[in-house]
Amino acid sequence: MTALLKLEGYTLTYPRQTEPALIDISLELAAGEKLAVIGESGSGKSTLARAVACLNPRGTCESGTISWPSLGRSAQAGSDFGMVFQDPGSNLNPVLRIGEQVAEAAREHLDLSWKEAEAVALDLLKKVQIPQPEAALRAYPHQFSGGQRQRIAIAAAIAARPRLLIADEATSALDTLVQAEIVRLIETLVTTEKMTLMFITHDIALASQLADRIAVMHRGRLVEIGPAEEIVANPRDPYTRHLLDTHIDLDDAPRISGGAA
Ligand SMILES: Nc1ncnc2c1ncn2[C@@H]1O[C@H](COP(=O)(O)OP(=O)(O)OP(=O)(O)O)[C@@H](O)[C@H]1O
Ligand SMILES: [Mg+2]
């Protein structure tokens, strides 16, 4: 099957950095596939996500390509891919009502009137399980908890029915329980809306639970990629083994869950 997304030998540098942030990255993503990208802080996960979304204004592509073979053209934000970031604050505009933000994404790409787009927004707020969705349309982001803001951000990201949803640590700022709920929501939406998923996390357990395949990044390189269960059961790269060992240590520690979302 023709890949939805394809990176070939992609290398990117930021100004004044001695090492490239992405080095010779090659990977393919099939339509409908769920790929998790894992790696420690600074390994290049967000840079990779932003490169796919053409959101790296400060980065320079030194070599390689990013293409969308099954589209046969370059990808459009909104209708081809939607993105959710880690910080709920950076996903939503604080001075715009929720309804406008979600409806705008639908209106712009699906060629709808405001009234039609508002109906789509309402439907999406229901899908992401925002309480009192009619009232939520007229509310502002600060009136919601962090977990609810992430749900709204997901609604806005999928409003134009993108083929690919890129979630960059979309659940990391949330406490464990809310994180699990949002992960389940993403899982459900990806299936019902027939989307492809690029899920970025530093949590290898979460990655293996959610993804078909796992890509492991280390210092800008893609050091390992394969089926999730294989990567976890039989990691080939020493760095992946290190990630797994560290995770087991962390998991043995007692868990303290944070405040309400
Ligand atoms: N806008 C930028 N300008 C310069 N350097 C940057 C920029 N963004 C990222 N970098 C550098 O690129 C490297 C990769 O950063 P990136 O944010 O992609 O890592 P990450 O894996 O997403 O980390 P984290 O888990 O902390 O989010 C790091 O060395 C970082 O300092
Ligand atoms: Mg990051």
Domain-located, residue 259 = no
Domain-located, residue 191 = yes
The helix/strand/coil state of 115 is helix
- Mean per-residue pLDDT, 149-162: 93
pLDDT band at 34 (very low <50, low <70, confident <90, very high): very high
Using CB atoms within 10 Å of the CB of residue 154, give its burial: 0 to 12 exposed, 13 to 18 middle, 19+ buried: buried
Domain-located, residue 260 = no
Is residue 6 within 8 Å of 72, Cβ to Cβ?
no
Round to whole Å and give the CA distance between 201 and 243: 12
Cα of 219 to ligand 1 centre, how many Å? Answer: 10
- Mean per-residue pLDDT, 113-122: 93
pLDDT band at 91 (very low <50, low <70, confident <90, very high): confident
Q: Whose CA is nearest to atom 29 of ligand 1?
A: 42
Mean pLDDT over all residues of the chain?
90
Cα of 179 to ligand 2 centre, how many Å? Answer: 17
Backbone angles phi, psi at 14, to 5 degrees: -105, 155
Tokens of 27: 């990977």
Which ligand 1 atom is at minimum distance from the Cα of 19? 29
Substitution candidate for ligand 1 out of 10, 11, 16, 45 with most atoms within 8 A of CB: 45
Q: Which residues span the domain enclosing 119? A: 5-252
Identify the H or E element spanning 197: strand 196-200
Is residue 223 within 8 Å of 31, Cβ to Cβ?
no
> Cα dist. 153→167, 171, 203, 226, 238 in Å?
10, 11, 21, 29, 36
Question: Each residue of 199-223: pLDDT tens digit?
Answer: 999 888 899 999 999 999 999 999 9
> What is the pLDDT at residue 35?
98
Cα of 166 to ligand 1 centre, how many Å? Answer: 17
User: What's the domain count of the chain?
Assistant: 1
User: What CATH number corresponds to the domain at position 69?
Assistant: 3.40.50.300
Domain-located, residue 257 = no
pLDDT band at 178 (very low <50, low <70, confident <90, very high): confident
The helix/strand/coil state of 246 is helix
Q: Whose CA is nearest to atom 25 of ligand 1?
A: 41
Round to whole Å and give the CA distance between 102 and 79: 13
Domain-located, residue 261 = no
Domain-located, residue 72 = yes
Pocket of ligand 1 (CB under 6 A): 14, 17, 21, 39, 41-47, 58, 202
